[in-house]
């Protein structure tokens, strides 16, 4: 079965929104401190992932297609010269609500870009190698969806480490509820210890 461009765009858009929702579900109900606390040796934190996702979506669905969003919460390109991790953490002046609201504004902005363009319309990704800078809306929708899926997976693991909540969008929505997790972990540990 062949999917026409309009159907393909709707499918890609749905997949993009699914990843957005999955990421935001991972920050729901978590305290401000827990959202900010670094969880890895490289400082990865839940709120930083959301802020990064907002800036990524803005870049790919904004300037790439000649559009701008005048929002002071977005990280300007020159800020990365001073701090390459500028979009990976919330500053002391930004609340979790601020960062989440920014991401929702960027989603609306990105959705306007997607809605107004055909799937085969090309944009120009200025930070990609010259030979690859021209990319269609469809290609960029796939690229951003894959990036968000990776980050939603990171957020899933970070959230489990905070309060044990697991699941695709809501705690327990795709994992066994009444399962002996300590026994399962012990079984896997015993297997690993055999090597």
Question: Which pLDDT value is given to residue 3?
Answer: 56
Residue that the structure tokens 């690859």 belong to: 132
| pTM: predicted TM-score of the whole model, two decimal places | 0.91
Question: Which pLDDT value is given to residue 171?
Answer: 65
CA dihedral 41, 150, 140, 106 (to 10 degrees): -70
Tens of pLDDT, residues 88-128: 999 999 999 999 999 999 999 999 999 999 999 999 999 99
Q: How many domains does the chain have?
A: 1
Residue 13 within a domain: yes
Residue 170 within a domain: no
Residue 89 within a domain: yes
Residue 192 within a domain: no
Residue 130 within a domain: yes
Question: Which pLDDT value is given to residue 96?
Answer: 98
Token digits of residue 92: 């002391």
Domain range for 151 is 5-164
Burial, 175: exposed, middle or buried (Cβ in 10 Å; 0-12, 13-18, 19+)?
exposed
Question: Which pLDDT value is given to residue 176?
Answer: 81
Question: Which pLDDT value is given to residue 175?
Answer: 81
Residue 193 within a domain: no
Give the residues of the chain that fall short of pLDDT 50: 1
Counting every residue, how long is the chain?
Answer: 195
Residue 71 within a domain: yes
Residue 178 within a domain: no
Tens of pLDDT, residues 73-84: 999 989 999 999
CATH number at residue 106: 1.20.120.450
């Amino acid at each position: 079965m062949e999917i026409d461009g309009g159907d393909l765009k709707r499918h890609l858009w749905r997949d993009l929104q699914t990843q957005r929702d999955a990421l935001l579900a991972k920050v729901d109900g978590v305290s401000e401190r827990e959202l900010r606390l670094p969880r890895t040796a490289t400082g990865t934190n839940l709120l930083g992932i959301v802020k990064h996702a907002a800036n990524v979506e803005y870049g790919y669905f904004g300037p790439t297609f000649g559009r701008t969003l005048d929002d002071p919460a977005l990280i300007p390109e020159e800020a990365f010269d001073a701090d390459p991790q500028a979009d990976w953490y919330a500053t002391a002046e930004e609340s979790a609500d601020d960062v989440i609201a920014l991401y929702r504004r960027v989603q609306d902005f990105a959705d306007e870009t997607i809605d107004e363009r055909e799937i085969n319309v090309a944009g120009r990704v200025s930070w990609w190698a010259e030979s690859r800078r021209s990319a269609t809306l469809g290609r960029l929708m796939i690229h951003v969806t894959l990036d968000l899926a990776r980050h939603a997976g990171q957020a899933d693991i970070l959230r489990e480490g905070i309060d044990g909540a697991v699941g695709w969008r809501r705690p327990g929505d795709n994992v066994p509820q009444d399962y002996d997790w300590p026994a399962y972990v012990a079984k896997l540990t015993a297997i690993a210890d055999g090597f």
